Chains A and B, each alone.
Chain A
């Protein structure tokens, strides 16, 4: 009961030392903002590159090519791939990007044949605005992914220009797949013509291949590559996640390095809370002696210290975490490299993890000062005044 009764006193101590509390909370909030942003980026990378057991999509690329501008495959390869055992469907794709390097705002066009549009869309893709019919009717029509639309502020009926190509927004696609949320699906001949890649109907960047049995993914990939091994344009075939991981290897590397930043942010939270608690303890030696004189036990005062450290960290973590969550949601940040999109995960998991970790670090940072205080003899406290 005493533990609960002293809680308001702890909060009064936090709120009535506004400068110290504000500076500490501000520091923790900034560190947690950084942590959640980095974690969102790492989660996005993980989700985009981590293979799953039921993967059924293969990407066929030109061998030893890494950029959509240099991967050029004859479109007729599609017919030969379709004949390979286990292949369910093949969609030839022309990829055209506004920037081939790593960037946070790249527009990726995917040219697909009119009849393959349903296969080219994400499996769980739905049209939230506009219609596929409109797209089919317009040669310059585009089905724009929802993240790209939000990021660029475009809606159905708009005309939109990027990378020298002007398209008409025919529909918006909603999907759980970051790759599809960040592309504009356009007609293949239109893109081939607009991007001037060897003329209409001859050259594509890649083939997206759907297979029936996920256990045969590697086997079919090898069969495809063997089929074209001695052709003029040999291929490299990967599972979709492996393809993303390969194309965005620099981003993956960057995410790994950013992990150090995340650890640094956690260390900063720990140091800030520990510093705030230690300084508060030093300032309040007299107050603690007085409390002990009033009958507060060392353990009760230790509990108050623990609560103060954990509360500061929790409030700072909440502020920073929620700010980062909002920033990721509003910003719809997508890292694009060589036509591959990796979106920063905007789910609540990174925020929840950040807040829980901040709380735990706050507790951990305060536990040693709290224990020391709990064991300090009242006379020692008085002598320190």
Chain B
């Protein structure tokens, strides 16, 4: 059984008097442990799909089943709880909380988990170690480079051991060399921990690390390539 199943997934927005449909009756299955790259032109529905998978947004029609849970039926509160347990989200612009240190940023999602302070500390330290940023744990975001910030953001996303890691153009704001290092890090998680990753990207080179490439056009799946 697939980890992620989208059945006739549709999303409408009302903007002014106009109805916009960024996603139209999308059928999609993603297996556990895959590294999926979502590509397509602007307005093709990539970010909308990512937000639906993250439980940030709700589908207007259709079904979204992740790991056996019918996500589209969950209340706001349940959805937030589910998100905290199953989703790790990496933003293009890192989105670290500026007044918190690297350590405190990574600790934030764990505050929602029923674990001891000791366990929390151990998991934060381990996540920072995995992304190679342990020596910067007391630094504030403003004291870190873009690549370092993104590493902290990745640590924050993986610290809860999520079912799915979602990434919205994770290298979009980084230079080529740093971007490559980040992609290698994500690939490492996939291979070593069988982590399912869904990544939105505009950069054809970053798709080299993905094993499935989904191409969206006008809210529909135009092409699916699996290596």
B95 at the interface (CB under 8 A from A): yes
Interface segment, A90-98, A141-149, A193-201, A295-303? A295-303
> A1-37 interface mask toward B, CB cutoff 8 Å, 1 = contact, 0 = none?
1100110010011001100000000000000000000
Which of chain A's residues have a CB closer than 8 A to the CB of B35?
none
Are B76 and A298 in touch, CB under 8 angstroms? yes
Instruction: Say which one of A63-71, A156-164, A285-293, A351-359 lies at the interface with B.
Output: A285-293
B92-109 Cβ-contact flags toward A at 8 Å (1 or 0): 000101111000100011
Partner of A290, one of B57, B83, B84, B97: B97
Contacts of A378 in B (CB 8 A): 56-57
Task: Give the chain A neighbours of B104 by CB distance below 8 A.
Answer: 9, 12
Across the interface, do B99 and A13 meet the contact criterion of CB distance under 8 Å? yes
A295-B99 contact, Cβ under 8 Å, with A1-B114, A379-B56: no
The answer, yes or no, to whether B224 is at the interface (CB within 8 Å) is no
Tell whether, in the assembled complex, residue A294 and residue B108 are in contact, meaning their CB atoms are under 8 Å apart: yes
Given A2-B111, A13-B99, A286-B95, A295 and B76 touching (CB < 8 A)?
Answer: no
Q: Is B80 an interface residue (CB 8 A)?
A: yes
Measured between beta carbons, the chain A residues less than 8 angstroms from B80 are 292, 295-298
A297 and B111 form a contact (CB under 8 A) = no
Are A17 and B99 neighbours in the complex by a CB distance under 8 Å?
Answer: yes
Q: Count residues of A near B (Cβ-Cβ below 8 Å).
A: 26
A228: B residues at CB distance < 8 A: none
Q: With a 10 A CB-CB cut-off, give which of A13, A295, A382 has the most chain B CB atoms.
A: A295
Residue among B57, B80, B83 facing the most chain A CB atoms (10 A cut-off): B80
Further pairs besides A290-B95, A294-B84: 9, Cβ < 8 Å: A5-B112, A17-B99, A290-B97, A292-B56, A294-B108, A295-B84, A295-B109, A296-B84, A298-B80
Q: Hey, which bits of chain B sit against chain A, CB under 8 A? A: 51, 54, 56-57, 76-77, 80-85, 87, 89, 91, 95, 97-100, 104, 108-109, 111-112, 114, 156
Which of A's residues lie within 8 Å of B, judged by CB? Answer: 1-2, 5-6, 9, 12-13, 16-17, 286-287, 289-299, 377-379, 382
Query: Lowest 9 CB-CB distances: which A-B pairs, in order?
Result: A295-B84, A16-B99, A294-B109, A297-B80, A295-B83, A5-B111, A290-B95, A379-B57, A293-B89
